[in-house]
């Protein structure tokens, strides 16, 4: 009697940073202290991981091949964009400080040229890849939001927040570093 197992049941969770070596995307596993070539299990996953830049963070499900030092990605949980970290000045007189790959603060700057020191409250965010943009999930004391993160260049981005029920754009925030 043969026993068949689904490959999905063997997938493991991994979190770490990526680097690019020529055309190859590498995954730096902080627990194993090894570097693995990243491979995608599907064309769609390939589209997602090929959007990553040097230093970006990825949380994924996948399969590790120790013999060939390859990590095959079966699904992406969320992405941490390295270029997003730091303080951004919004066109709405607020400063947005992305303190980690999952937390940010908002502080009022008014007409001042400089942003005040970031303080509580801390908001949570996650970035997920899509085929055209990056999808942001944001949560704070005033609710949860879904939006698109549009990167015009490394110092110019836009966040479009949507009403989850109607799909209408609630707000556009233009941010500059």
pTM over 0.75: yes
Compute the distance between CA of residue 19 and CA of residue 28 in angstroms, rounded to an integer. Answer: 7
Q: Are 19 and 37 in contact (CB under 8 A)?
A: no
Q: pLDDT digits over 40-60, tens only?
A: 999 999 999 999 999 999 999
Compute the distance between CA of residue 159 and CA of residue 170 in angstroms, rounded to an integer. Answer: 11
pLDDT given for residue 143 in this prediction: 81
The three-class DSSP label of residue 114 is coil
pLDDT given for residue 11 in this prediction: 82
Compute the distance between CA of residue 157 and CA of residue 165 in angstroms, rounded to an integer. Answer: 25
Bond into 121 cis (ω within 30): yes
Q: Which long-range contacts (CB under 8 A, 24 or more apart) does 132-139 make?
A: 134/51, 134/79, 134/81
Compute the distance between CA of residue 49 and CA of residue 57 in angstroms, rounded to an integer. Answer: 11
Other Cβ atoms less than 10 A from the Cβ of 48: the count is: 20
Confidence category of residue 1, pLDDT binned at 50, 70, 90: very low
pLDDT given for residue 6 in this prediction: 42
Identify the residue whose tokens are 């949860």: 144
């Amino acid at each position: 009697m043969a026993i068949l197992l689904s490959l999905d049941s063997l997938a493991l969770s991994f979190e770490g940073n990526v680097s690019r070596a020529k055309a190859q995307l590498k995954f730096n596993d902080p627990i194993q202290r090894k570097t693995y070539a990243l491979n995608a299990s599907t064309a769609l996953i390939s589209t997602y991981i090929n959007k990553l830049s040097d230093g970006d963070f990825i949380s994924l499900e996948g399969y590790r091949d120790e013999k060939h030092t390859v990590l095959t990605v079966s699904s992406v949980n969320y992405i941490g964009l390295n270029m997003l970290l730091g303080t951004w000045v919004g066109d709405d007189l607020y400063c947005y400080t992305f303190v980690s790959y999952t937390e940010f603060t908002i502080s009022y700057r008014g007409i001042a040229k400089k942003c005040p020191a970031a303080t509580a409250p801390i908001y949570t965010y996650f970035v997920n890849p899509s085929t055209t943009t990056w999808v942001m999930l944001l949560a704070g004391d005033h609710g949860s939001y879904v939006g698109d993160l549009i990167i015009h260049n490394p110092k110019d981005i836009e966040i479009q927040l949507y009403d989850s029920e109607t799909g209408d754009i609630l707000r556009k925030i233009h941010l500059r570093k």
